[in-house]
Amino acid sequence: MIQVRIASQVTAQGVSGVRWVLVEQVDAAPVADAVPVTSAVAQDAIPAADGAEAAETTVGSATAGAVRLGALKLLVVALGLAAALWTAHVQVGPPGADGVPTRSQPQSTRDPAMPAHAVPARPGAVPVPPAMPHAAPPATSPTPATAPDAGEAPSPAASASPPRLTAAL
Amino acid sequence: MTMLQAPAPLPWHDEADLLGVRVRVFFFDPAEADAHGDFVARQLPILRGSGARLLAPEGQRSSYQAGGLLAQPDAVLAHGEGLLCLAYKGGDGRLLAPAQWRAQWRVDVMLQCIANAMAVAGQCQQPTAALWRGTNLLCQFDPGVAVLECLATHIGAARHYWRELQSVSPAQLAAFCEPRLRALPGLAASAGSVSASLA
């Protein structure tokens, strides 16, 4: 370390009020493998604060920065997409669970023996059979069969085994 | 028994704290000062008649190095038990008004002068004062601890930043350290006052 003494006062007789600080020695080893770029900056032509900050960004590799930024963008988009899919899966259910044919599983290729609502939308939910026109109660029925105040409880067998779609087909 | 008397201070016209540096200024008539043949009377009007003397012939710039800092100040003078490191070729040549010199202040020039003085002091191992002579004023810089530490501890980083193999110039070191000094919380007030007066 080199001791540096800066005078804080100047008088007619000399200097006084010394402040001192230690200056680090030259360590040329770390920059030996650096690119030997000769600085063309003159002593009085150095840009100040803003110029230094702007130049600092150009010293690094611009290509690596662009690639890093692109990868970061892709990561953010993928995370958002995954979050959206997970939210839809939790709240709505898997694709095709509502009877609407999905693009990956069209109606023509679906197994006819598999009812549309074979999988409950939520864990623990009772599967709801699809509406069948011929099985619907008549419109003139005074009380619907599923009304809670009908007075007669549905039979366990009827509630346990939903009607098979293959029978109608 | 004799008592040591403190030396009489020089008749500075104004002083202020700017970015952690105590700046003392002396205004003079440039036409009158430039008419002098003596170097000290011409470049250091406040020290006219003192014993300051140039270490090298006028116009000859010697190199001074302290660690990784290499400087070529405009002039170095011996003054008493110390040195005077003077810069007078920088700046933009404007006349600074005594009432508004703070608003027209250039921090980069100030930091360059201090870095010049650090290199001279480090090589000569003598206390050195940093001075800058403008068109119509002479300044003496008294840097605070934060400024000295910032300049002294960032020489290696500035050398890496500017991709210099051996050393950095005072201008490079000043440009590297100025934004860091402005970011220091203790110096933000003085830096803010300069910016406000500029606005």
Residue A123 confidence (pLDDT) above 80: no
Asked if B180 reaches chain A (Cβ–Cβ under 8 Å), the answer is: no
Cα A24 to the center of its chain, rounded Å: 47
Q: Which domain holds residue A5?
A: 1-25
CB contact under 8 A, B83 and A56: no
Residue A10: inside a domain = yes
Residue B4: inside a domain = no
Distance from CA of B71 to the nearest CA of A (A): 9
Residue A3: inside a domain = yes
B contact residues 29-88, partner A, Cβ 8 Å cutoff: 47, 50-51, 66-69, 72, 79-84
Nearest CB to A12; choose among B8, B145, B163 = B8
Residue B1: inside a domain = no
- Overall domain count for chain A: 1
**Tell me: the pLDDT tens digits for A10-39?**
999 999 999 989 987 776 544 444 333 333
Q: What is the pLDDT of residue A32?
A: 41
Residue A84: inside a domain = no
CB contact under 8 A, B171 and A16: no
Q: What is the pLDDT of residue A161?
A: 54
Q: Which domain holds residue B39?
A: 14-198
Number of Cβ pairs closer than 8 Å across A and B? Answer: 166
**Mean per-residue pLDDT over chain A, rounded:** 62
Residue A2: inside a domain = yes
Cα B42 to the center of its chain, rounded Å: 17
- Overall domain count for chain B: 1
**Tell me: the pLDDT tens digits for A132-144?**
555 444 444 444 4
Long-range contacts of A16-22 (CB under 8 A, 24+ apart): A16/B7, A17/B142, A18/B82, A18/B127, A19/B142, A19/B143, A19/B145, A19/B148, A21/B118, A21/B145, A21/B148, A21/B149, A21/B151, A21/B152, A22/B152
CB contact under 8 A, A14 and B149: no
pLDDT truncated to tens, each residue of chain B (199 aa)?
A: 455 667 778 999 999 999 999 999 999 999 999 999 999 999 999 999 888 999 999 888 999 999 999 999 999 999 999 999 999 987 777 888 888 898 888 899 999 999 999 999 999 999 999 999 999 999 999 999 999 999 999 999 999 999 998 899 999 999 999 999 999 887 765 654 544 443 3
Residue A11: inside a domain = yes
CB contact under 8 A, B164 and A51: no
Q: What is the DSSP string of A57-115?
A: HHHS-HHHHHHHHHHHHHHHHHHHHHHHHHHHHHHT-STTTTSPPPSSS-TTTS-TTS-
Q: Check: CB of residue B131 under 8 Å from CB of residue B113.
A: yes
Residue in chain B nearest A1 by alpha carbon: B67
Question: Looking at per-residue confidence, does B127 or A118 come out higher?
Answer: B127
Q: What is the pLDDT of residue B89?
A: 82
The ipTM, to two decimals, is 0.88
How many of the other CB atoms lie within 10 Å of CB of A26? Answer: 18
Distance from CA of B99 to the nearest CA of A (A): 23
**Tell me: the pLDDT tens digits for B157-174?**
999 999 998 899 999 999
Residue B8: inside a domain = no
Q: What is the pLDDT of residue B62?
A: 92
Which residue, B9, B6, B7, is CA-closest to B26? B9
Average pLDDT over residues A125-132: 52
Q: What is the DSSP string of chain B?
A: --PPPPPPBP--SEEEEETTEEEEEEE--HHHHHT-SSHHHHH-GGGTTSS-EESS-TTPPPPEEETTEEE--SEEEEETTEEEEEE-S-S--PPPPTTTTTTT--HHHHHHHHHHHHHHHHHHTS-EEEEEE-SSEEEEEEE-HHHHHHHHHTHHHHHHHTT-SS-B-HHHHHHHHHHHHHH-GGGHHHHHHHHHHH-
Q: What is the pLDDT of residue A66?
A: 84
